[in-house]
Structure 1
Amino acid sequence: MTRSEKVSWLIRELKKENPGYEVIREPMNETEKRRLLRSLMNVRWPGRVSPEFLRVQDELLREELEEKGVTDGEALPVIREQYPCTAIKNDDRIVLWRGDITTLAVDAIVNAANSQMLGCFVPCHGCIDNAIHSAAGVQLRNECAQLMEAQGHEEPVGKAKITGGYNLPARHVIHTVGPVVGVQVTEKQKEELASCYRSCLKLAEKSGLKSVAFCCISTGEFHFPGKLAARIAVETIDRYLSGSRLERVVIDVFKEEDLHIYQKIFR
């Protein structure tokens, strides 16, 4: 099958799962057709999926990843090489990188999840949770659902869970729930955000991983102020690495504004 044929086939299979979707017409435009597929994957409730569906989906996602290109986390320069005046103790193990975290090859990437821990169900939403689940495939939501069913309650803020990475170049995804900020940040929320970073680092080390990449937890949909969040992230990561065997921590930023915030801290 061509890529277009794979997209069309996957759309038809997902529409078969829910008779209500049969009224949705498949767009002729390839971009809109791919967007429809992502939307159907986003809203799909966890459940059994056929081996054939997984085969076609995995082929498609890996073709798209190859087209986007994979960044080797081990090849990225550490901040010691870029910001030699930094006061960070572990500047030989921390990396600042701006890019798409779903294309980063490390042992684990961190997902800023919600307490349901099943991924974002809003079609084509711009959050990191949606991006990671869309790139990993439907297997990721299924594994998350199994973990949450076994736990029996929503994930507390500041804790973390680890899953496979599936079609991501990262071998694992570590999911953590950050604090949701209202009018102003409380001391409790500051500690909760620090706990997110500590929990992810501890879980990575406990799982025998050597490298982990963080997104900017809670600074998007959860409205944690970027400058304060960055200071908490850097302080927590640097302090943890002082007593850890982890070899590399990547701080991944997507927006130019966040890049400047971290650059200012490291300088």
Structure 2
Amino acid sequence: MRKERECQLIKQMIGFLGGEEGSSEDRDELLIIWRGLVNRRPAGLLSEEYLACEKEFLTDYHQKHQRSLADCEKTLHPNILLYYGDICHLQVDAIVNAANSELLGCFLPNHGCIDNAIHFYAGAELRNACAELMKKQGHKEPVGQVKVTKGYALPTQLIFHTVGPRIPEGKSPSPIRENLLRQCYLACLNRAREEGLATLAFCAISTGEFGYPKKEAAALAVQTVDDWLSETAYPLTVIFTLYTEEDAIYYEKELREEEKS
């Protein structure tokens, strides 16, 4: 019954997006309902009808919202760019998802975390792929490593899933947690080189629900990426995606102010 309801909702949305009928408020309401249903859906068999409906909607959605390197802004580092917007819209070789240790995405309906958005806008096949990876692994995903899946409906070719460290509320990052966050970035950078990628977009790992202070995380991320690019000389273009004004302030300070003496 739930799957039938989902298909019905998607068909309605496709009709609205195609200009058949309905208002923007109707579309927004349907999207919220559908996304909540998809968020709660466990990994498992997906009907061909559902997948066809989902693919039609997501293909149309991404065609309208897709962004490229031309939409990113330059920084003092020739191989580091800033992107002000949703990482789900970027057409790059790989994007980084700040995952949880279950690696199955966020199950909270319409939650605002990046894990929730990536799983929804990639399509339901992503959760199944992650479930298969975890089944083979046989245990939760450790902090500071990376798993790779296809991008599915997203404009990106690949998704790098990494679990960052959690910081208790009101606490400063310990040296151990600083190193774990650094390992998240290094694992993704090294995997990008292994895959022969040219572009990699990072979200602000651990700074949302996991509580890592944004200022400290930005400084660590930029230093880690800058050092890696200098040491490896690998021709990778790294994009830091800035979804909030606070993120923008800290990354701009690190990457766009005049070089210090």
| TM norm structure 1 | 0.84
Q: Structure 2 matches for 1:221-260, cutoff 5 A?
A: 221-242=209-230, 243-260=232-249
Structure 2: how far apart are the matches of 1:223 and 1:75? 29
SS in 2 for 1:167: coil
Match of 2:253 in 1: 264
Residues 161 and 244 of structure 1: CA distance in aligned 2, closer, same or farther (over 3 Å):
farther
Q: Deviations over 1:97-119 (max 9, x none)?
A: 21110000000000000000000
The equivalent position to 2:69 in structure 1, one of 51, 55, 73, is: 73
Aligned to 1:106: 92
- 1:172 alignment counterpart: 158
AA matched with 2:55: D
Opposite residue 226 of structure 1, the aligned amino acid is K
CA contact (8 A) 1:181 1:222 kept: yes
Structure 1 residue 145, shift from structure 2 partner: 0.6
Alpha-carbon distance in 2 for matches of 1:156, 1:225: 21
Task: Tell me by how many angstroms 1:52 deviates.
Answer: 2.3
Structure 2 equivalent of residue 159 of structure 1:
145
**Residue matched to 1:217:** 205
Matched positions, count: 237
Could you tell me whether the CA contact under 8 Å between 2:9 and 2:34 is conserved in 1?
Answer: no
Residue identity in the other structure for 1:156: P
Q: Report the alpha carbon displacement of residue 6 of structure 1 after superposing the two structures with TM.
A: 8.3
Q: Secondary structure at the match of 2:61?
A: helix
Query: Does the 8 Å CA contact 2:96/2:162 hold for their aligned counterparts?
Result: yes
Q: Structure 2 stretches of 5 or more lacking a match?
A: 13-24
Aligned amino acid, residue 68 of structure 2: D
Structure 1: state its 5+ residue gaps. Answer: 13-27, 81-90
Q: Does residue 1:41 correspond to 2:5, yes or no?
A: no
1:185, distance to aligned residue in structure 2 (A): 1.3
Against the structure 1 CA distance between its residues 158 and 198, is the aligned structure 2 distance closer, same or farther, given a 3 Å change threshold? same
Q: CA deviation at 1:244?
A: 4.1
Q: Give the whole-Å Cα distance in 1 for the aligned partners of 2:8 and 2:188.
A: 38
The residue that corresponds to 2:187 in the other structure is 199
